[in-house]
Amino acid sequence: MNKWDFYTAKELRPAGWLRRQLEIQAKGLSGNLHKVWPDVRDSAWIGGKREGWERVPYWLDGFIPLAYLLRDEALIADAKTYIDAILAAQAPDGWICPCKEKRRAKYDTWAVQLISKTLQVYYECSGDERVPPALYRVLKNYYELLKSGRIRLFRWGESRWFETFIALNALYARQPEDWMRDLAAILKRQGYDYGRAVDAWKKPRHVWLRKTHIVNLAMMLKSEAVSCDLLGEPYTDRAETLRQVLDRYNGTAFGGFTGDEVLSGLDPTRGTELCAVVEQMYSYERLFAYTGENKWAERLETVAFNALPATLSEDMWTHQYVQQVNQVACQQTMLMAPFSTNGPRAHLFGLEPNFGCCTANFSQGWPKLALTAFLHKGDTILSALLLPCELEDRGVKLRLETDYPFKNEARYVVDADRAFTLEIRVPSFAKNVRLNGEPAGAENVRLPIMPGHTELTLAFETEPALVSRPHGLAMLKMGSLLFSVPIEYEKKLQEYVRRGVERKYPYCDYQLIPASPWNYAFASADFTVRRQAVGKIPFSQANPPVTVSARLQRIDWGHKFPYRSVCRKTPRSRAPLAPPETVALIPYGAAKLRMTEMPPPDRT
How is residue 356 annotated by DSSP? T
What mean pLDDT comes out for the span 366-388?
Answer: 98
pLDDT digits (tens, 9 = 90+) for 353-363: 999 999 999 99
Q: In angstroms, rounded to a whole number, what is the distance separating the alpha carbons of residues 148 and 46?
A: 29
DSSP line for 62-74: HHHHHHHHTT-HH
pLDDT above 80 (res 496)? yes
Q: How far is CA 350 from the centre of its chain?
A: 18
| Residues in the chain, overall count | 604
> Domain segments of the chain: what residues?
15-192, 375-461, 465-595
| 72-to-6, 26, 33, 64, 78 alpha-carbon distances in Å | 21, 9, 16, 10, 10
Phi, psi dihedral angles at 347 (to 5 degrees) = -100, 5
- Indicate the SS3 state at residue 256: coil
Q: How far is CA 296 from the centre of its chain?
A: 13
- Residue 218 CB burial class (10 angstroms; 0-12, 13-18, ≥19): buried
Q: How confident is the model at residue 336 (pLDDT cuts 50, 70, 90)?
A: confident
Residues contacting residue 555 through CB under 8 Å, at least 6 positions apart: 519, 520, 521, 571, 573, 574, 575, 576, 577, 599
Q: How confident is the model at residue 334 (pLDDT cuts 50, 70, 90)?
A: confident
- SS3 string, 520-573, reads EEEEEEEEEEEECCCCCCCCCCCCCCEEEEEEEEEECCCECCCCCCCECCCCCC
Per the CB < 8 A criterion, the answer to whether 444 and 294 are in contact is yes
- Indicate the SS3 state at residue 179: helix
b or e along 578-594 (b: 16 or more beta carbons within 10 Å of the residue's beta carbon)?
A: eebeebebbbbbbbbbb
Task: Tell which residue, 227, 216, 326, 237, has the closest CA to residue 280.
Answer: 216
Q: In angstroms, rounded to a whole number, what is the distance separating the alpha carbons of residues 35 and 353?
A: 19
Beta bridge partners of 477: 465, 482
Per-residue model confidence (pLDDT) at position 603: 65
Beta bridge partners of 507: none
- Indicate the SS3 state at residue 100: coil
Say what angle helices 238-250 and 223-231 make with each other, to 10 degrees.
160
Residues contacting residue 45 through CB under 8 Å, at least 6 positions apart: 52, 56, 57, 82, 85, 86, 89, 98
Per the CB < 8 A criterion, the answer to whether 261 and 214 are in contact is yes
Per the CB < 8 A criterion, the answer to whether 146 and 102 are in contact is no
Query: What percent of the chain shows pLDDT beyond 90?
Result: 97
pLDDT digits (tens, 9 = 90+) for 183-203: 999 999 999 999 999 999 999
Per the CB < 8 A criterion, the answer to whether 325 and 591 are in contact is no
What mean pLDDT comes out for the span 93-99?
Answer: 97
What mean pLDDT comes out for the span 68-88?
Answer: 98
Q: In angstroms, rounded to a whole number, what is the distance separating the alpha carbons of residues 390 and 374?
A: 9
Handedness of CA 155, 157, 162, 163 (dihedral sign): positive
What mean pLDDT comes out for the span 434-462?
Answer: 95
Q: How confident is the model at residue 529 (pLDDT cuts 50, 70, 90)?
A: very high
Among 238-247, 442-451, 473-482, 511-520, the range scoring the smallest mean pLDDT is: 442-451
CB neighbours of residue 193 within 10 Å: 12
Per-residue model confidence (pLDDT) at position 4: 98
Return mean pLDDT, the chain: 97
Per-residue model confidence (pLDDT) at position 604: 44
Q: In angstroms, rounded to a whole number, what is the distance separating the alpha carbons of residues 482 and 544?
A: 13
What mean pLDDT comes out for the span 526-553?
Answer: 98
- Indicate the SS3 state at residue 426: coil
Q: In angstroms, rounded to a whole number, what is the distance separating the alpha carbons of residues 130 and 457?
A: 43
How is residue 194 annotated by DSSP? G
pLDDT above 60 (res 578)? yes
Per-residue model confidence (pLDDT) at position 335: 75
pLDDT above 70 (res 41)? yes
Q: How confident is the model at residue 204 (pLDDT cuts 50, 70, 90)?
A: confident
Q: In angstroms, rounded to a whole number, what is the distance separating the alpha carbons of residues 522 and 501?
A: 45
Q: In angstroms, rounded to a whole number, what is the distance separating the alpha carbons of residues 124 and 417?
A: 25
What mean pLDDT comes out for the span 214-223?
Answer: 98
CB neighbours of residue 323 within 10 Å: 28
Sheet with 445-449: list strands edge to edge: 5-6, 374-377, 380-383, 420-424, 445-449
CB neighbours of residue 309 within 10 Å: 24
Look at strands 496-498 and 501-503 and give their pairing.
antiparallel
Beta bridge partners of 586: 484
Per the CB < 8 A criterion, the answer to whether 289 and 375 are in contact is yes
Handedness of CA 512, 514, 519, 520 (dihedral sign): negative
Say what angle helices 73-88 and 29-36 make with each other, to 10 degrees.
50
CATH no., domain 375-461: 2.60.40
